């Protein structure tokens, strides 16, 4: 990788249905994607972070009917609520698509359809099945729990109609091959193994259209068949390339898909099959490159219960940001959910993390450092190249942080990556507690070197923190940057405590 030719990375989130306002579970995915994007940009990569909304769903139509609002008005309002997350959550999003409104999307979906037809992969037949609108997918009786959707607990609707099918069965061996030979990496590995087991059970061809009547006229018409609209998942998956101009102007497609070094999809565990089987088969059929990585996160629960609009168990992410600040919200989302397994959110846990690790940990270190610079050096930035006494362990921790964070993010392990940052803050606090520089006289021979060590540590910590908490990192850097007159800004807390002492 040379300076002239940086690594090119296309990074996507899934597109949420806009049947409701955004919940914290989707924000988890957005924040994870943002961290990876910021981290890779910091390493010199050219990154395009893409997200959007999945507008063309029957689920959206039904929710609009329930709300007594026109579908267009309803979808526009909820899509706007998703777009409005970017600024308060400090998300560095480069590209947003709305599948019902972006002029590039429909021609791209039509192009993908024609590519499948040209490959001999599409055919029409009568179909009867059990459909969950909540999931927007058919279930086999064996996949149901007591006759109900395993995800929604509702009885699926029997559907009998003439649909277009995609010859998914044809791709069983090739999908298995790309998932096992390193072409497409799924993390964590447990999730890849689930998909391999699904493949071993045998793939059936996939219905990829709906009657216009059942779709209530909402969706993208099947090319050449006015009685059908494209299955919402087939339409939604295509967004990853239609947003780059597939089927319209393919300049961006060349750069960010075909020519990219890494094509990374972030997905929740519930939609992995769509990405790791159906989407791969669609791309193989169309002769397009596959994603290089599919990174799978689990779910959040809220006070021990599944986040669900129907039970009212939801929390508005923007209310949390308003109440606790973006750093505290991002920190909890990155710090607590394990790599595998659900995580339970409570406000008390968020407050505890932020108080313990941001206010007491980092805030305390920075406050003491800047206060000492003011009291002992009269607000002049410490300037010496000599190492502080007994600083070997601290420098070792700082030197190791880079590799620890790189390895953790390489494993898609945000908890381990943020733990690496927490660990260097702890090492720096231990150092200042051991040395006790506040007891030094103004003429103490080690004073300048100790303060320089702390000062440089704070700046290095801010650098490591940047992809995770860009706002807090910027405030730490500002506190450790002399003004044009050479004065260090007066100490101020970078992170206030949120809970009771």
**Site of interaction with Zn ion (CB under 5 A):** 132, 134-135, 149, 151-152
Q: Which C-beta is closer to Zn ion: that of 308 or that of 367?
A: 308
In the complex, least distance from residue 434 CB atom to Zn ion, rounded to whole angstroms: 57
Q: Strand runs (DSSP E) across 260-338, as ranges? A: 262-268, 293-297, 300-302, 305-306
Cα atoms in the 13 Å half-sphere on the side-chain side of 64: 22
Q: Which residues of 419-439 are buried (b: 16+ CB within 10 A; e: fewer)?
A: bbbbebbebbbebbeebebee
In the complex, least distance from residue 140 CB atom to Zn ion, rounded to whole angstroms: 13
* Sheet with 221-222, edge to edge strand ranges: 209-211, 225-230, 221-222
In the complex, least distance from residue 341 CB atom to Zn ion, rounded to whole angstroms: 21
The answer to whether 328 touches 468, Cβ cutoff 8 Å, is: no
Q: Which C-beta is closer to Zn ion: that of 20 or that of 318?
A: 20
Sign of CA pseudo-dihedral 126, 128, 133, 138: negative
- Give whole-number Cα distances, 251 to 383, 406, 489, in Å: 50, 31, 47
In the complex, least distance from residue 123 CB atom to Zn ion, rounded to whole angstroms: 27
Sign of CA pseudo-dihedral 266, 14, 84, 330: negative
Q: Which C-beta is closer to Zn ion: that of 1 or that of 145?
A: 145
As a whole number of Å, the CA-based R_g of the chain is 26
Q: Which C-beta is closer to Zn ion: that of 132 or that of 302?
A: 132
Q: Which C-beta is closer to Zn ion: that of 151 or that of 446?
A: 151
Q: Which C-beta is closer to Zn ion: that of 31 or that of 149?
A: 149
The answer to whether 45 touches 6, Cβ cutoff 8 Å, is: yes
Distance CA 472, CA 477 (A): 9
In the complex, least distance from residue 277 CB atom to Zn ion, rounded to whole angstroms: 18
* Rama region for 457: left / alpha / beta (φ>0; ψ in -120 to 50; rest): alpha
In the complex, least distance from residue 137 CB atom to Zn ion, rounded to whole angstroms: 7
Q: Which C-beta is closer to Zn ion: that of 146 or that of 439?
A: 146
The answer to whether 320 touches 314, Cβ cutoff 8 Å, is: no
Q: Indicate the angle between helix axes 447-465 and 470-479, nearest 10 degrees.
A: 160
The answer to whether 465 touches 420, Cβ cutoff 8 Å, is: no
In the complex, least distance from residue 26 CB atom to Zn ion, rounded to whole angstroms: 17
Q: Which C-beta is closer to Zn ion: that of 135 or that of 432?
A: 135
In the complex, least distance from residue 151 CB atom to Zn ion, rounded to whole angstroms: 4
């Amino acid at each position: 990788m040379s300076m002239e030719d940086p690594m090119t990375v296309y990074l996507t989130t899934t597109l949420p249905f806009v049947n409701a306002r955004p919940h914290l579970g989707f924000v988890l995915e957005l924040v994870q994607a943002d961290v990876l994007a910021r981290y890779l940009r910091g390493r010199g990569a050219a990154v395009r972070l893409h997200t959007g909304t999945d507008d063309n769903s029957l689920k959206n139509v039904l929710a609009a009917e329930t709300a007594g609002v026109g579908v267009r008005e309803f979808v526009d309002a909820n899509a706007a609520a998703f777009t409005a997350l970017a600024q308060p959550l400090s998300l560095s999003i480069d590209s947003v698509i709305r599948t019902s409104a972006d002029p590039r999307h429909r021609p791209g979906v039509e192009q993908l359809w024609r590519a499948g037809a040209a490959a001999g992969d599409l055919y029409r037949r009568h179909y009867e099945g059990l459909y969950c609108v909540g999931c927007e997918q058919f279930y086999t009786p064996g996949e149901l729990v007591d006759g109900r959707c395993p995800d929604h607990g509702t009885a699926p609707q029997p559907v009998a109609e003439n649909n277009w099918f995609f010859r998914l069965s044809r791709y069983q061996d090739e999908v298995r091959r790309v998932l096992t030979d390193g072409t497409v990496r799924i993390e964590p590995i447990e999730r890849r193994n689930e998909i391999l087991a699904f493949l071993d059970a045998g793939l059936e061809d996939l219905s990829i259209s709906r009657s216009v009547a059942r779709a209530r006229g909402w969706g993208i018409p099947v090319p050449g068949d006015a009685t059908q609209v494209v299955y919402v998942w087939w339409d939604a998956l295509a967004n990853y390339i239609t947003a780059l101009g597939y089927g319209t102007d393919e300049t961006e497609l060349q750069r960010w898909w075909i020519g990219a070094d890494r094509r990374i999809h972030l997905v929740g565990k519930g939609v992995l099959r769509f990405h790791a089987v159906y989407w791969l088969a669609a791309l193989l059929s169309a002769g397009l490159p596959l994603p290089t990585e599919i990174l799978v996160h689990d779910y959040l629960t809220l006070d021990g219960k599944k986040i669900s609009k129907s039970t009212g168990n939801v929390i508005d992410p923007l209310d949390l940001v308003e109440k606790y600040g973006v750093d505290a919200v991002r920190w909890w989302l990155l710090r607590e959910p394990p790599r595998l397994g659900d995580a339970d959110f409570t406000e008390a846990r968020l407050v505890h993390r932020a108080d313990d690790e941001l206010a007491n940990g980092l805030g305390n270190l920075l406050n003491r450092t800047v206060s000492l610079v003011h009291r002992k050096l009269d607000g002049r930035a410490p300037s010496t190249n000599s190492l502080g006494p007994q600083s070997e362990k601290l420098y070792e921790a700082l030197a190791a942080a880079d590799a620890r964070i790189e390895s953790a993010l390489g494993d898609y392990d945000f908890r381990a990556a943020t733990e690496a940052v927490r660990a260097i803050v702890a090492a720096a606090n231990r150092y200042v507690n051991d040395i006790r520089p506040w007891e030094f006289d103004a003429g103490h021979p080690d004073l300048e070197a100790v303060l320089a060590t702390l000062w440089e540590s704070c700046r290095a910590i801010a650098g490591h923190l940047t992809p995770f908490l860009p706002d807090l990192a910027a405030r730490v850097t500002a506190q450790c940057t002399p003004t044009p007159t050479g004065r260090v800004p007066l100490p101020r807390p970078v992170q206030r405590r949120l809970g009771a002492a």
